Amino acid sequence: MHNAPNIKRYQLQTSHRTYGFIVMAVVFAIGMAGTTLPTPLYPLYQQHLNISELMVAVIFATYAFGVLGALFVTGPWSDQIGRRPILYAALACAAASSLLFLYGGALWVLLLGRALSGLSAGFFTATATIAVIELAPDSQKTFAAMMAAAANMGGLGLGPLLSGAISQYLPGPLHLAYLVYLFLLVVAGALLSQCPETVTRPSNPNLRPQGLGLPTSVRTAFVPAAIACFAGFALLGLLTSLEPAILGKVVGISNRAAVGGLIFIVFVASLGGQFLQRRLADEVRLPLACGVLVLGAGLLAVSLIANSIVLLIIGAIASGLGQGAIFAASIVAVTAASPAGKRAEITSLLFVVVYLAVAVPVLGLGIAIEYIGLRAAGITFSVLVMLLSIAAVAVLKMRRIKPSVAI
């Protein structure tokens, strides 16, 4: 009888280990949904504030640089102070961002709101990814890594789907979506409170900024993953920042629900790519994914030349498949190669590469639009992504040949 409390406590801990990673994945998805929530609304902001596509690119890049700031400064922190404090900070930044968008009315408000959204994403990405994996039973670690990637991309896809439909068919097109999202954040906070902490805090936490060095044992997995991710996320940045403008001004579709739906399809395709790549042999995963990305970028370029919504949709799906396969294979490889005490730090470094790929090329695209127009800039950008993907495959093959030569 004296053992009954211990047995009950053990059963509760076992339940948390069994289901905690699923709950954490839901929190992760809700958090990431807010980062893409404004995407279908950019044309409305352009009308209200009289801003150009270049300024839309600047707003988008502000978000990406907010992510980078969080990753550089706080990337290793969750290894020191725990996963949950960082994730609570992420939810708080997401709530502050939504409140700023509710206030609206000025460009600086949008910029500050997107910067806070970027901080939220930066807190979430590596920390939540690792937390999902750590909360899973040992027999489900690989599945948990896939679920973490799916929660990331699934949340990113749900954001524009939600805001596009609400803003198109319900009142308050620039406000109601944020009220709904604030409610979801409350739900996420409640769920997070039920997730156990996976980190034992040291007596003297070392809250240093993100390191840029890589252990030698990780470099072989990290370098090809970073190259491939840069290509995939550069194209994803195009689709999630300027797709509303492309649909409206090139293809002639301005329905915000349709815009959100197409972006959602891209992320669903990304999820599909993440799961399909598991069926492939390790040595062909990244090269094949890069090949699919080349196909997607090529179709996007042709769709802009031909004003074809069909080719645009097919190209977006192919791009999502390629990007998703690249992303999932990279997360699994880098996490598996990382020492236990360095997982959050090294995963954060991979996300630094990812968000540099999202921010810098999109800024360049916005500048190009000012000089050569939206259509020509989009075509040029797509061709550059194709060339980068081809270069990534070449580098991957070179790195695989080197060990054989040494032997």
The reported pLDDT for the residue numbered 169 is 94
Structural domains of the chain ordered from first start:
10-197+212-406 (1.20.1250.20)
End-to-end CA distance of the chain: 64
Tell me the average pLDDT across 347-356: 79
Task: Give the C-alpha separation, 382 to 365, whole Å.
Answer: 10
| Phi then psi dihedrals of residue 203, to 5 deg | -65, -30
pLDDT-derived band of residue 209, with 50, 70 and 90 as boundaries?
low
pLDDT tens-digit series, residues 325-335: 888 778 777 77
φ and ψ at residue 361, rounded to 5 degrees: -60, -35
pLDDT at 153: 82
Of 67-71, 94-98, 132-136, 221-225, give the lowest mean pLDDT range: 221-225
**Residue 84 in contact with residue 47, Cβ under 8 Å?**
no
pLDDT band at 161 (very low <50, low <70, confident <90, very high): very high
pLDDT tens, residue by residue, 226-236: 888 888 888 88
pLDDT tens per residue, range 8-51? 333 434 445 557 888 999 999 999 999 999 989 988 888 888 88
**Residue 290 pLDDT exceeds 50:** yes
Is the pLDDT at 220 greater than 60, yes or no?
Answer: yes
If you search the block for the tokens 């211990």, which residue do you land on? 6
Residue 6 predicted with pLDDT over 60: no
Q: How high is the pLDDT of residue 144?
A: 85
Question: What pLDDT score was predicted for residue 405?
Answer: 37
Of 235, 347, 263, 346, the residue nearest 37 (C-alpha): 263
Question: What CA–CA distance (Å, rounded) separates 126 from 102?
Answer: 28
pLDDT computed for residue 10 by the predictor: 37
Q: How does 76-114 read in b/e, with b if 16+ C-beta sit within 10 Å?
A: bbbbbbbbbbbbbbbbbbbbbbbebbbeeeeeeebbbbb
Report how far residue 133's alpha carbon sits from residue 332's, in angstroms, rounded to the nearest whole number. Answer: 10
The mean pLDDT value of the chain amounts to: 82
Sign of CA dihedral 165, 169, 172, 173: positive
Do 199 and 82 form a contact (C-beta atoms < 8 A)? yes
Over residues 123-138, the mean pLDDT reads 85
Given a contact cutoff of 8 angstroms between Cβ atoms, the answer to whether 27 and 195 are in contact is: yes
Find where tokens 């009308």 sit: 47
| % of the chain with per-residue pLDDT over 70 | 89
Q: Provide the pLDDT for residue 117.
A: 94
Q: What is the mean pLDDT of residues 186-214?
A: 78
For residues 320 and 156, give the distance between their C-alpha atoms in angstroms, rounded to a whole number.
Answer: 12
Q: How many Å is the Cα radius of gyration of the chain?
A: 21
More confident residue, 298 or 205: 298
Say whether pLDDT at 243 is over 80. no
Give the DSSP letter of residue 249.
I
DSSP per-residue string spanning 82-105:
-HHHHHHHHHHHHHHHHHHHHH--
| More confident call, 216 vs 240 | 240
Of residues 341 and 298, which shows the higher confidence score? 298
pLDDT for the residue numbered 61: 84
CA nearest neighbour of 270 among 235, 242, 308: 235
